[in-house]
Structure 1
């Protein structure tokens, strides 16, 4: 603002000074032409006419003889001239002027005509000074008004911003005090504060979901571990109460080892999920024929299917379908899908394993004829320890699908569940080898070791 006002003032001063200089130059040019045409007498007549007070002009004239005796003009005597740096002469104009008795500054130039006659042409700068003072007053008033409006506007805007920030702080204090359902209110203006509040609310919703999931996982772990630990303790306690028997002790120890193996399997699955979700450095992605991999897996589970009276069918292309993956981790992930299909398919049913390609993706699907999963539950079954059976009496720990999703995501793929009318089809989509190499290069360096 100050720079703008200074520029306005400077341009105004330059314009007024230039106008004064051009006016005096034009007047000198005109008088010189009158002198050439009409001589000294004609020049005297012109000067007397132009210096008439009734014209109200601010121009100053003085024509003197060799002894500086006035011949014509509106100055009574030759002034004391001071030559300035710009080449113009300045002098003080007091009661010799025609405006008032207060001293003014005048700007002039002089030259000598033929015969020693001297001519001074100038201009009273009182109007310029008054105009400049009015400009200064106007600029100062405008600057003061702009400063006042700026301060008022700044206070209003800062108070509005601080009020929004204080709302966020109060909401944060309430949340830290335990009111986790609190959210930051929106104004509906769509401004930066509303967008910030939306992002914070979304973050709080996600945190609340994660906390609910952690509570659910904790409850499930407690439920799943309490029963085997209780059975283990009761079995050992009964063995101690009963009569000593080597066979009884051996039986109790074998059952205890079985319970311990189940507990270790649960914790191993949790560690494997955490390792896969963290981008396991153990996952060495190498070229892998997914079709041959599926056939090997089918051969492995075919005796299990026959024992349960099920048909296990494999459908793959004759040519290799190459992906990049860790064979051990993919085996654990896909094996969980096959085991679930065999577990829930009724006797006489069929489990199908197929491998196909779709653009840049390879798809491995495991379909069964079981009861399936309701559409609204198909996403939740990937949560750790989640089971459709609320009583949790069915064998298993509810970690198989969680491990499968973590492993598939580690390989840059996806896993989805769909209906098989009746039954369920689990589809694993993995990028083909060329696409997988691009995905692997995009992973952080510490995840590609």
Structure 2
């Protein structure tokens, strides 16, 4: 399809033509109506002025007869203006008036009549249009009283010409504007089409260009780009999960298979077989936990779970988790303490938030044991769970998208789990939030590398985030969640 035909087939150009036709019709009707009313007004004024003059001449005729009438018309004919007079005898010869000569047939008419006449002008005689009334007086005398209406005819001609030229220019400008708008719109649509084709070809990094005008196409492009970024992220996550599953689950599956194969080939007593089966079940349970964690993360990133949202007290939730894990911490020789403002209302899924907080505490218990070099002699608790209010500048919805809250900072609830262990290097704090990332290369400690990923997914689902920082020494995990009333109705998560 050629470029001109593409322009002519665009919706913008068709709408421009439609608007032009509607506006042209409306303008024509408006001008025609005005012109018609002006004609009626001028005709009425013309009739009234002629009738008024006829009344005055009739009074002169009644009072002084033909002589008085002729004297009055002769006097009025000397005054410049548009008034026309002509008095003729029975044979049609001119007696008085400012008309030089008229057609004899005109004097035979009775009542209103429109005729052409000539009068002297620069460079010769000019032909003009007049309107008059003809009366037959007693004795065969004819009287014509009229007005020059050439200016009215010129006005009509100028009005018609202006209307035609105006409509023509309007059509020219309208078509040109329609082509210009269509070309601009077509260029933007072509850009969207080209980007879509490149994405369908496999290039998920393509984005629709924006012109920063803030119009509807710009807003649509922004929304589509956000959607494309989310799709690219999900696809990258899917590839990463596939690679991680192949890498991280291959080893335990191979170990499980080798253990069972060794038990089949090596004769053992009942106790040996039982020990092998118990280890196999334990490893299978770990694999099931890993798959369940992956499924939970996938469900949260897909927006599932928002149907169970309720109003919660973060302080009470922290107290429950601290009470649950306090004996576990004591077994490892750690001191766990909870300190939270009361109350801290938040809106969310109790089970998911409890699991996220439990993952943070469990991670601190496993990896947060202090030593003398890291401040083990300090009086501070080994593991501290805190919660408090904090301000923010944006209002979050349930899918993690932020928007303006009318310029006012909104309140957020910060849940902080800190330990006194070796911590995490700053360069690795973002990376450990990804799936299957474990900092120890040997991976000797139990775990799948999904705990912090699940916490980050829960935070995104609730419109918050998870940040890891330095506790000096140790790790500080900060889970930020919107307070109840600062988050909108639950919806499908967008995440990041």
Give the TM bin, normalised by the shorter chain. Answer: 0.7 to 0.9
Q: Distance in 2 between matches of 1:185 and 1:282?
A: 36
Matches within 5 A, 1:190-339: 196-243=220-267, 245-276=269-300, 278-280=303-305, 283=308, 285=310, 290-291=315-316, 293-315=317-339, 328-339=351-362
Question: Retained in 2: the 8 A contact 1:356–1:363?
Answer: yes
Which of 183, 193, 208 is the equivalent residue of 1:159?
183
Question: Retained in 1: the 8 A contact 2:129–2:150?
Answer: yes
Number of residue pairs the alignment of both structures matches: 428
Question: Retained in 1: the 8 A contact 2:314–2:346?
Answer: yes
Query: If the length of structure 2 is used for normalisation, what is the TM-score?
Result: 0.69
Q: Distance in 1 between matches of 2:462 and 2:224?
A: 31
Q: Distance in 2 between matches of 1:162 and 1:336?
A: 52
Residue deviations 1:194-224 (CA, integer Å, cap 9, x gap): 5554554444333323322221122112222
Return 5+ residue gaps in structure 1 as ranges. 83-88
Quick one: structure 1 residues 191 and 26, their matched pair in 2 at CA, closer, same or farther if it must change by over 3 Å? same
Q: How far did residue 49 of structure 1 move?
A: 5.7
Quick one: structure 1 residues 127 and 99, their matched pair in 2 at CA, closer, same or farther if it must change by over 3 Å? farther
Q: How far did residue 144 of structure 1 move?
A: 2.4
Which of 412, 421, 433 is the equivalent residue of 1:370?
421
Return 5+ residue gaps in structure 2 as ranges. 1-23, 391-410
Q: Does 1:351 align with 2:382?
A: yes
Matches within 5 A, 1:388-427: 388-389=439-440, 394-407=445-458, 415-427=466-478
Q: Distance in 1 between matches of 2:439 and 2:344?
A: 35
Question: Retained in 1: the 8 A contact 2:414–2:481?
Answer: yes
Question: Retained in 2: the 8 A contact 1:308–1:347?
Answer: no
Q: Distance in 2 between matches of 1:21 and 1:286?
A: 81
Residue deviations 1:344-369 (CA, integer Å, cap 9, x gap): 22354452334444376655432111
SS at match of 2:160: helix
Q: Does 1:47 align with 2:73?
A: yes
Q: How far did residue 336 of structure 1 move?
A: 0.9
Q: Distance in 2 between matches of 1:168 and 1:387?
A: 41
Instruction: Give the alignment's Cα RMSD to 1 decimal.
Output: 4.4
Q: Distance in 1 between matches of 2:219 and 2:307?
A: 41
Q: How far did residue 225 of structure 1 move?
A: 1.2
Quick one: structure 1 residues 5 and 258, their matched pair in 2 at CA, closer, same or farther if it must change by over 3 Å? same
SS at match of 2:190: helix
Quick one: structure 1 residues 25 and 206, their matched pair in 2 at CA, closer, same or farther if it must change by over 3 Å? same
Q: Distance in 1 between matches of 2:304 and 2:67?
A: 109
More off after superposition, 180-189 vs 233-242: 180-189
Residue deviations 1:106-158 (CA, integer Å, cap 9, x gap): 53346788999875422354553344234323422332233233223322332
Q: How far did residue 228 of structure 1 move?
A: 0.8
Q: In the alignment, which residue of structure 1 is the partner of 2:6?
A: none
Q: How far did residue 230 of structure 1 move?
A: 0.9
SS at match of 1:181: coil
Quick one: structure 1 residues 429 and 103, their matched pair in 2 at CA, closer, same or farther if it must change by over 3 Å? closer
More off after superposition, 396-405 vs 370-379: 370-379
Question: Retained in 1: the 8 A contact 2:54–2:145?
Answer: no
Question: Retained in 1: the 8 A contact 2:57–2:69?
Answer: yes
Question: Retained in 2: the 8 A contact 1:90–1:105?
Answer: no
Higher relative CO (Cα under 8 Å, sequence separation at least 6) belongs to: 2
Question: Retained in 2: the 8 A contact 1:351–1:366?
Answer: no
Q: In the alignment, which residue of structure 1 is the partner of 2:9?
A: none
